[in-house]
């Protein structure tokens, strides 16, 4: 009987009865052919590949990460509780030592969901990786986490959630934002004042193929990971870099994805996008699972694979090398950059608009963070959407210093009930998620 070298956990939850809308790319059929391939290859019979049934995440699990407006129920469906629950189940299996690594093959995805949630962005409502990671941090002794996002779209939601967290390295490799949704993810987006450098963006030109992805992994991502020394490595394993994906312009392959997986050695992989549901997903998922399990994947090949047809031009190669150099130079300068910031103002502020393309909502945010030498800094966000909800969201980070804790509580308690419909507090050190709406406060 075939035996895997690594004990690999799988949660397979294709949500065969859930879709954003009948003809939306994120629909019932999306993992149907992947299921066929997984079943026909007999993957679940391989000794040391273990399938788990997803649990549902709890309200606390979601509120630990997100400020949902007006509440969690309004911006999620049960499918989100299950897909995040699938990731959580795999995370627990890995940290309990039941498996060496694991892959949550679940939908819907999550990497475009930001800290504040007014609705769905890029098919995502809640950030399933972040919900998993913050649960794991609460339940197990882990601190430093690296997320390597290999989806074709910039993981702007994950970036937003970890923007100020110096203990989380977020690396996103994606198609250049000037040519693809969501239009962000440039190398100079490097994280907030307390976490400068721990956000790493590597935009690659359209038509990047195996050569370019593997070059970037080997020469940019792996050295950064080695420097960061994470306790846990997460792969946001989107599969829309595939040459046959209908909504992107890259030239990656099943073999390439398997090679990338083998090189990265992630503890946990979580499925993100990927919409070539027949020509790519069955083969890419097969390649990823085999690579994680340490089984030969040399014969995994999609039917219309022709390496000559998808080979990248020398121009693309040169552009990739240049981006890599720039990213590495930013990475090397992250400590002096942080020193410079600490000598400036006590507070950092930014204003921005967030567009929820899936739900057609526009949100404007005004954010204020305390620049702190000792922790990730107390954070407050004044957010209002064109649907009329205005909220004040206060976040006291994990391992906050006393000053930031006090400040966070002060912000929460002194919020003006006439200005905000809702005031929310994420008190991570106290493990409390508080909410007061204007009606309550007036009483």
User: In this chain, which of 9, 12, 361, 401 binds other proteins, going by CB under 8 A?
Assistant: 12
Distance CA 440, CA 443 (A): 5
Per-state percent for the chain, helix, strand, coil, to nearest 5: 35, 25, 40
The contact mask relative to Zn ion for 236-255 (x = CB under 5 A, - = no) is --x-x---------------
- Long-range CB contacts for residues 4-7, cutoff 8 Å, separation at least 24: 4/46, 4/47, 4/48, 4/49, 4/293, 4/294, 4/295, 5/48, 5/293, 5/294, 5/295, 6/48, 6/100, 6/101, 6/292, 6/293, 6/294, 7/48, 7/50, 7/98, 7/99, 7/100, 7/101
42 binds other proteins (CB under 8 A): yes
Helix (H, G, I), strand (E, B) or coil at 81: helix
User: In this chain, which of 6, 20, 32, 389 binds other proteins, going by CB under 8 A?
Assistant: 32
The contact mask relative to other proteins for 160-199 (x = CB under 8 A, - = no) is ----------------------------------------
Would you call 66 a catalytic residue per the annotation?
A: no
**Residue 358 CB, nearest distance to other proteins (Å)?**
15
> What Å distances lie between residue 202 and 57, 118, 255, 324, CA to CA?
31, 28, 21, 7
Nearest to 214 by CA among 253, 266, 246, 272: 253
31 binds Zn ion (CB under 5 A): no
Output the six-digit token pair for 283. Answer: 């083969």
Give whichever of 25 and 119 is closer to other proteins, judged by the CB atom.
25
Give whichever of 105 and 221 is closer to other proteins, judged by the CB atom.
105
- How many C-beta atoms lie closer than 10 Å to residue 349's C-beta? 9
User: In this chain, which of 223, 298, 336, 360 binds other proteins, going by CB under 8 A?
Assistant: 298
Binding-site partner at residue 282 among Zn ion, other proteins, none, CB < 5 to 8 Å by type: other proteins
> What Å distances lie between residue 310 and 273, 313, 365, CA to CA?
21, 9, 41
Q: Are 252 and 243 in contact (CB under 8 A)?
A: yes
**Residue 106 CB, nearest distance to other proteins (Å)?**
11
The contact mask relative to other proteins for 241-280 (x = CB under 8 A, - = no) is -----x-------------------------------x--
Q: CB-side exposure of 127: number of CA atoms within 13 Å?
A: 30
The values of phi and psi at residue 173, to 5°, are -105, 125
Choose the binding region for other proteins from 206-214, 298-306, 391-399, 409-417 (rule: CB under 8 A).
Answer: 298-306
291 binds other proteins (CB under 8 A): no
> What Å distances lie between residue 218 and 215, 259, 333, CA to CA?
5, 11, 20
Distance CA 79, CA 15 (A): 7
151 binds Zn ion (CB under 5 A): yes
User: In this chain, which of 299, 343, 414, 418 binds other proteins, going by CB under 8 A?
Assistant: 299
Q: Which of 112, 154, 164, 395 is catalytic?
A: 112
79 binds other proteins (CB under 8 A): yes
22 binds other proteins (CB under 8 A): yes
Alpha helices of 269-313 — where are they, by DSSP H?
281-293
Nearest to 64 by CA among 124, 138, 145, 5: 138
Binding-site partner at residue 406 among Zn ion, other proteins, none, CB < 5 to 8 Å by type: none
417 binds other proteins (CB under 8 A): no
Give whichever of 53 and 441 is closer to other proteins, judged by the CB atom.
53
Using CB under 5 A as the binding rule, the residues of this chain from 85 to 124 that contact Zn ion are: none
Residues that bind other proteins (CB under 8 A): 1-2, 11-18, 22-23, 27-29, 32-33, 35-37, 39-42, 45, 51-54, 56, 78-79, 82, 246, 278, 282-283, 286, 290, 295-296, 298-303
Enzyme catalytic residues: 112
């Amino acid at each position: 009987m075939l035996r895997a070298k690594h004990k690999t956990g799988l949660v397979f939850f294709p949500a065969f009865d859930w879709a954003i809308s009948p003809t939306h790319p994120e629909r019932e059929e999306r993992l149907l052919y992947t299921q066929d391939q997984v079943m026909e290859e007999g993957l679940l019979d391989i000794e040391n590949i273990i399938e788990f049934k997803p649990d549902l995440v709890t309200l606390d699990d979601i509120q630990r990460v997100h400020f949902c407006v007006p509440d969690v129920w309004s911006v999620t469906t049960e499918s989100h509780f299950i897909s995040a629950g699938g990731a959580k189940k795999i995370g627990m299996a890995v940290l309990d030592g039941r498996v060496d690594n694991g892959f949550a093959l679940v939908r819907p995805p999550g990497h475009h969901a930001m800290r504040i949630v007014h609705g769905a962005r890029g098919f995502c409502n809640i950030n399933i990786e972040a919900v998993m990671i913050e649960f794991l941090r609460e339940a197990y002794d882990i601190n430093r986490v690296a997320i390597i996002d290999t989806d074709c779209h910039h993981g702007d939601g994950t970036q937003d959630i970890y923007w100020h967290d110096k203990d989380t390295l977020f690396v996103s490799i994606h198609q250049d934002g000037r040519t693809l949704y969501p239009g962000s993810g440039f190398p100079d987006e490097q994280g907030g004042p307390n976490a400068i450098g721990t956000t790493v963006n590597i935009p690659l030109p359209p038509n990047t193929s195996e050569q370019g992805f593997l070059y970037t992994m080997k020469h940019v991502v792996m050295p950064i990971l080695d420097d960061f020394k994470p306790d846990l490595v997460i792969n946001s394993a989107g599969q829309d870099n595939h040459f046959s994906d209908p909504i992107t312009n890259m030239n990656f392959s099943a073999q390439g994805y398997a090679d990338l997986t083998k090189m990265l050695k992630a503890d946990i992989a979580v499925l993100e996008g990927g919409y070539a549901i027949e020509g790519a997903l069955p083969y890419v998922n097969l390649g990823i699972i085999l690579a994680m399990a340490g089984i030969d994947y040399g014969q995994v090949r999609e039917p219309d694979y022709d390496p000559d047809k998808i080979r990248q031009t020398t121009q693309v190669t040169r552009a990739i090398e240049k981006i890599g150099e720039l990213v590495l130079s930013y990475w090397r300068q992250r400590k002096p950059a942080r020193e410079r910031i600490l000598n400036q103002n006590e507070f950092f502020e930014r204003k921005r608009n967030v567009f929820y393309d899936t739900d057609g909502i526009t949100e404007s945010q005004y954010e204020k963070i305390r620049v702190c030498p000792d922790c990730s800094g107390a954070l407050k966000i004044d957010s209002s959407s064109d649907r009329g909800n205005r909220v004040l969201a206060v976040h006291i980070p994990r391992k906050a210093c006393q000053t930031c804790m006090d400040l966070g509580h002060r912000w929460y308690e002194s919020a003006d009930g006439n200005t905000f419909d809702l005031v929310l507090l994420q008190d991570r050190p106290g493990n409390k998620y508080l909410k007061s709406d204007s009606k309550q406060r007036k009483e």
